[in-house]
Amino acid sequence: MVDSFRHQGLRKQLVEHLASKGISDLEVLNAINKIPRHLFMDNAFVNFSYQDKAFPIGAGQTISQPYTVALQSQLLEIKPYEKVLEVGTGSGYQAAVLSLLDAEVFTIERQRELFLKTKKFLPTLGYNCMFVYGDGYKGMPNFAPFDKIIITCGAPFIPEDLVTQLKVGGIMVAPIGDGDIQVMHLIEKISETETRATTHGEFSFVPMLNDKNNGK
């Protein structure tokens, strides 16, 4: 697994591009500068790894556009050792960013093919997370509550089970919408019965689907 000077130079250019688009959290930018995104890519697209675009990774899923990863990470305002639930492990790239932000990462994936691949792959790069194969709508109640929750697929609504698993004072960042376009929401849990949401632009994600999928 080679990470050449060329790759490092391309990452630096990507980070400069993200900063020009308004990403200002230096910890997030430093994390993206360190992570070899080309190692997370399907071989067919590896030469485009440091373009600010999403690409297919198999099982009908994508590795998110770097700007999207950076924005969601910035909105989370992660502090060291916070428990973070990621819904939609995918390639593991977002989980790697969260890990470099010193979060304790719990990540759930419903596509068995991706779950098995990423659970094996991420630790080889030094990123240690709790991996669970399951339905993202249900979250991980056995490990709750979480300080932060991030959804990395398009949810048609805000899942109530996930709100329940969020600590009071916690933040959830999720793209919400049941069409081709979702609106990024930042949801703050004010109390056990009250939340407050703000919106942060339009994005396009693969849909968040119910139940587990065995790749059949």
Selecting among 49, 64, 73, 99, the annotated active-site residue is: 64
Known catalytic residue at 64: yes
Q: List, as one string, the DSSP characters of the chain.
A: ----HHHHHHHHHHHHHHHHTT---HHHHHHHHHS-GGGGS-GGGGGGTTSSS-EEEETTEEEPPHHHHHHHHHHHT--TT-EEEEE--TTSHHHHHHHHTT-EEEEEESBHHHHHHHHHHGGGGT---EEEES-GGG--TTT--EEEEEE-SBBSS--HHHHHTEEEEEEEEEEE-SSS-EEEEEEEEEETTEEEEEEEEEE--PBP-SS-B---
Question: Which residues are part of the catalytic machinery?
Answer: 64
